[in-house]
Amino acid sequence: MPDGTRLPAPAATETLDRFDVDLFVASFLSRYDGKTRERYTADLCRFLEWCDRHHLSPFQLRRQHLEVYAKYLAKERGNCPTTVAHRLGTLRLFYELAVDDDLIIKNPTRLLRIPKRRRVVGEKIHLNRAEMQAVARAAYDSSPVDYALVVIMGYTGMRVSEVCSLDVDHVLSFSKGHRVMEFVQKGGDIATVPQPPVVMRAIDAVIAGRTSGPLLLRRDGTRMTRRSADRIVKRVARVAGIAMTVSPHTFRYSFCVNSIDAGVPLREVQVSMRHKDISTTIAVYDRGRANLDTHASHTLAAYLGAVA
């Protein structure tokens, strides 16, 4: 290798031909769709190219091989720790399925060292109440579509891809006394999200009597895209005087943090965010808050008192 690292010898197992490898890769990718499938496809293509370059079969590798691959991603390709962790996470799922299909005996990623993203202390990832109101005002003054995009994401926590996928007939149905939005969420399941009055009014303004077609339209009359949405939120945030870098996902973070600050129980926020694990919700909140005013040390110091 360019850096002088020598790859360990592959495990002495039966080698699958390329057709079998390609068939398994196709089977793995068929479990996913949309952006998730695109990302996993890119990760596996890069990995398989690396294996081919070193004349290695993906199903003969040991943990040491994958540690060398991780070093290649970081040193030669210049991938940041977050990207390396994501690419290795794809391989972890890939090999987990291979174990289940009896293609390998054990998952070589089981004890693989996954780099962790170093978070900046006090890093701000959300818009607080005043900032959210300022951005919503700027979007309202811009156009009905801009306003609807901002309030749907900021007031319901929906992902930008989900908002862009909405059609008019997805937002006009009712369930349990609420007007709701129904869409295919990450993972392929159908999700149902209620419309608060502010969201309902914004949606009615962009529907403007239509009965079909995409809910959010660009100026040329085509469906809103993730890229278009990103440009809109950056523009309205700039108009609102927001100093931090804002992306569509900022509004999902804002929904989480502001909901808990508003007194919504953590479990309810988890359900609303559609997080499978509550630790994910807590991680978002902990990153977003960075608030030392509510640290437990203050309450404990008042309880214990002081010597002098």
Tell me the pLDDT tens digit for each residue of 59-81: 989 999 999 999 999 999 999 88
pTM above 0.75, yes or no: no
Interatomic CA distance for residues 103 and 14, integer angstroms? 9
What's the Rg (C-alpha) of the chain? 24
pLDDT at 14: 47
Quote the mean pLDDT of the chain: 86
290 pLDDT higher than 80: no
Whether 98 and 24 have beta carbons less than 8 Å apart is answered as: yes
Average pLDDT over residues 93-110: 92
> Residue 214: enclosing H or E segment and its boundaries?
none
Whether 212 and 170 have beta carbons less than 8 Å apart is answered as: no
Location of each CATH 1.10.150 domain in the chain: 18-100
DSSP track, 135-204: HHHHHHHH-HHHHHHHHHHHHH---HHHHHH-BGGGSSEEETTEEEEEEE-TTS-EEEEE--HHHHHHHH
Location of each CATH 1.10.443.10 domain in the chain: 129-289
pLDDT band at 180 (very low <50, low <70, confident <90, very high): very high
CATH pick for 18-100 out of 2.40.50, 1.10.150, 3.90.1200, 1.20.140:
1.10.150
pLDDT band at 6 (very low <50, low <70, confident <90, very high): low
Interatomic CA distance for residues 192 and 276, integer angstroms? 16
* Superfamily of domain 129-289 in the CATH hierarchy: Intergrase catalytic core (1.10.443.10)
